[in-house]
Amino acid sequence: MKRRLLTVMLGLAMMFTLAACDGAGNADPPEKQGTKTDTSETGGSNARNDSRSDVLVVVFSATGTTKRVAEKIAVQTGAGLKEIIPAAPYSSADLNYSDSGSRTSREQNDATARPAIAENISIEGYKIVYLGYPIWWGQAPRILSTFVESHDFSGVTVIPFCTSGSSDIGQSDDALAAQAGSGNWVQGKRFSGSVTECELKKWIDDTKPTETEGADMEKTLRLIINDTEVAVEWEKNESVDALTELVSAKDLTIQMSMYGGFEQVGSLGRSLPRNDVQTTTSAGDIMLYSGDKIVVFYGSNSWAYTRLGRITDQSAADMTRLLNNGNVTLKITYGG
Ligand SMILES: Cc1cc2nc3c(=O)[nH]c(=O)nc-3n(C[C@H](O)[C@H](O)[C@H](O)COP(=O)(O)O)c2cc1C
């Protein structure tokens, strides 16, 4: 009961603070705060902010700093909070970064290290996952790799955040997105342990996906050849689904090579499901070749390919102009 009262009081204190944030993430001066809290409606809606059961905060924290930030994010978004607990807890000796032989030094020096997690964390049913971690040697702790590689983030917007002594988030969020291989990962953000409620509120408001983004609606693969974006009618097959997952985790930039006087071909960097069929191609066809290469045609060839799509807004002459003038860069993004 006492605990409940404390929670309510804490909630009210939070509403008071949030009501006093300006648009730039600063707190108003105390006398202004007093005025604002009188309007309970402002405080209420700010505090509820994004109260949704499909939002989850997942955090790994070795010494409590990131967890404290995660708790504030959970309160502000109305989200649940789940903690990644290592099967083997990190002792102070393990966390000693001055010791090149400490457990964390060894793990961070080994890109393949995957420390076990004590208890599985389910993200099923969640559309938005805030993912928090401390920076260790400029990277996310390897246990985050264990976590992201063991979950399917399809249809989930992942919002990474971290705390550190001073380092920025760097490439740690991109590396996790690549390891996850699924989900819509947004640019992550580093906070100091003393981040204010107002700074967090501003960030939450700025990064909050719209309903459309959260539901992954209206979004499609977009194809850009050098600087020209072309309209594509994508196939509805498991190869395109896998390509969409890949690209929604991170934009793909592919260096293509001219080949045979009829195509440009480049590596996707990984294999997609394939269902090759003997095909005679024509200008504008986009094919999967050998499972891990994308081919865009400006002429005709007969081979066994899996069709990915077809460029619909360029004539055969346009395709020749685009592709028959030296190697091109192909960019595939996922957006509206
Ligand atoms: C093994 C280890 C490595 C660290 N490496 C960095 C670093 O590269 N850059 C940095 O700014 N802080 C570094 N720190 C400091 C932590 O990122 C910082 O204290 C963080 O807020 C701790 O979060 P936690 O309490 O949630 O574990 C490191 C800490 C440890 C234990």
Pocket test for ligand 1, best of 91, 95, 164, 194 (most atoms within 8 A of CB): 164
Q: Write the pLDDT tens digit of every residue in 118-145.
A: 999 999 999 999 999 999 999 999 999 9
Ligand 1 binding pocket includes 102 (Cβ within 6 Å) = no
Which of 177, 204, 179, 224 is closest to 335 using CA atoms?
A: 224
Distance 142 CA to ligand 1 centre (A): 13
Helical spans, DSSP H, in the chain: 2-19, 30-38, 40-48, 65-77, 103-108, 142-149, 172-180, 197-207, 211-214, 238-249, 316-323
* Mean pLDDT value across residues 283-305: 97
Is the pLDDT reported for residue 34 higher than 70? Answer: no
Query: Among residues of the chain, what percentage have pLDDT more than 70?
Result: 82
Q: Write the pLDDT tens digit of every residue in 206-254.
A: 887 765 444 444 678 999 999 999 999 999 999 999 999 899 888 999 9
Specify the pLDDT at position 329.
97
- Comparing 25 with 295, the larger pLDDT belongs to 295
Specify the pLDDT at position 250.
85
Distance 64 CA to ligand 1 centre (A): 11
Q: Whose CA is nearest to atom 20 of ligand 1?
A: 164
Ligand 1 binding pocket includes 168 (Cβ within 6 Å) = no
Q: Whose CA is nearest to atom 22 of ligand 1?
A: 134
Specify the pLDDT at position 52.
56
Pocket test for ligand 1, best of 61, 94, 95, 97 (most atoms within 8 A of CB): 97
- Interatomic CA distance for residues 127 and 144, integer angstroms: 19
Domains within the chain, CATH numbers bracketed: 1-48 (no CATH), 49-214 (3.40.50.360), 220-335 (2.40.100.20)
Distance 323 CA to ligand 1 centre (A): 48
Specify the pLDDT at position 23.
63
Mean pLDDT of the chain: 86
| Ligand 1 atom nearest to 102, measured from its CA | 1
- Interatomic CA distance for residues 202 and 212, integer angstroms: 20
Q: Write the pLDDT tens digit of every residue in 172-216.
A: 999 999 999 889 899 999 999 999 999 999 999 988 776 544 444
- Interatomic CA distance for residues 90 and 61, integer angstroms: 10
Specify the pLDDT at position 300.
96
